[in-house]
Amino acid sequence: MTGRDWRQRPQHSPTHIILGTLGLSIGDRCKKSSQSVGIDSAHQCLYEQVHGTAFGRFQAGRGLLISTLSMKTRPQRFRHTVLTLTCLFSLMGGVMGSSITGQLSAQAQSRPAAGTVYVLNGERWQEAFILQAAGRIAGGAPSWSYTVQYFDGDQQVERQVNGDRVRTIDQAQAEGLTDNVYDLSSPTGIDQILATHNEARRQVGVSDLAWSGDLADSAQAWAETLIARDRVEHSPSDVLQNANRGENIAAYRTTGRSASYTAATRAAQGWVDERVYYDSAANRCASGQLCGHYTQVVWANTTAVGCGMARSADEKQEVWVCHYNPGGNVVGQRPY
């Protein structure tokens, strides 16, 4: 038998870009106009604030004005009038002085972090996911604060996390804050996902699994197939049964500008964490809960494992697959 898992990361709010002393946050206004015909102009207004030339800013304001006049209903026209005035006033700020223009230029060079990051929580750097980012100009330079949700423990949410407490994955790895890796392209990733399996097995007194290149190849092929199909489903049953293999799948999806990056350790740990739902005395899962991923990880008769992972081209989805031999979760048998 096999198990699969589907997790969706929290959807985070659009990043607000705060325009210096004007104190205008137009990111949310652009978002609110997403159902109107002027959305392209609204997005262009936001883009030109941060990246654009003077002519581009003029064109963005002009486009918003035209789209406002084209609105057929009074609510649409009112909404776009507010957006247009916001855009035009902030554009005037760039014309009237060099300070805001310089700050926006710095803003363009310092984008907020997104997705999976590491946050200094007390004395520990912990993995977390950014739910929201807010920006402001302080001392002539952009400054970011975040709302984050930690992956460990009770998945605590913390607000107003200063940017100096946040590191991207690349920064954390470069600074030696973590040894986690986020794919299986290196021996380190393989060691980490295998170690997570074997630590769980030792806790129930069963022998370690060995890594299998053949199982890894088949798992990798299926992970790539799922990403290409944009689906989450098990390998055909005849394929698994004929090869006497078990299969665990974990899929992750994110929204917004965040990429989906799951550490090799965490991908397997998600399966191991199902142990709280396994009733050993009754040899079954708690009502309404999954535990089959966990029982496959610790299945005593399984001797080998191989895993693969694939990430979509836009980095919004990733799939982790592990194949086991011999397969576990045999009806009528106990895992250990």
How many Cα atoms within 13 Å fall on the side-chain side of residue 199?
12
> Given this model, what pLDDT does residue 171 score?
94
What CA–CA distance (Å, rounded) separates 273 from 170?
27
Report whether pLDDT(2) > 60.
no
Asked if 274 and 29 count as a contact pair (C-beta separation under 8 A), the reply is no
The C-alpha atoms of residue 39 and residue 31 are separated, in whole angstroms, by 8
What are the pLDDT digits (tens) for 298-309? 999 999 999 999
d(CA 242, CA 143): 58
Return the minimum-mean-pLDDT range out of 13-17, 30-34, 120-124, 288-292. 13-17
Number of CB atoms found within 10 A of residue 302's CB: 23
3-state per-residue secondary structure call for the chain: CEEEEEEECCCCCCCECECHHHCCEHHHHHHHCCCCCCHHHHHHHHHHHHHCCHHHHHHHHHHHHHHHHCCCCHHHHHHHHHHHHHHHHHHHHHHHCHHHHHHHHHHHHCCCCCCEEEEEECCEEEEEEEEEEEEEEECCEEEEEEEEEECCCCCCEEEEEEHHHEEEHHHHHHCCCCCCCCCCCCHHHHHHHHHHHHHHHHHCCCCCCEECHHHHHHHHHHHHHHHHHCCCCCCCHHHHHHCCCEEEEEEEECCCCCCCCCCHHHHHHHHHHHHHHEECCCCEECCCCCCHHHHHHCCCCCCEEEEEEEECCCCCEEEEEEEEECCCCCCCCCCC
What band does 107 get if pLDDT is binned at 50, 70 and 90?
very low
pLDDT digits (tens, 9 = 90+) for 150-172: 998 789 999 999 999 999 999 99
Kindly report, residue by residue over 177-218, the tens digit of the pLDDT: 999 999 999 999 999 999 999 999 999 999 999 999 999 999
CA 242 to chain CA centroid, Å, is 36
Phi, psi of 46 (to 5 degrees): -60, -45
Do 222 and 308 meet the contact criterion of CB atoms below 8 Å apart?
Answer: yes
Q: Which of 335, 233, 235 is nearest to 285 (CA)?
A: 335
* Res 243: pLDDT: 78
Residue 283 zone, left/alpha/beta (φ > 0; ψ -120 to 50; rest) = left
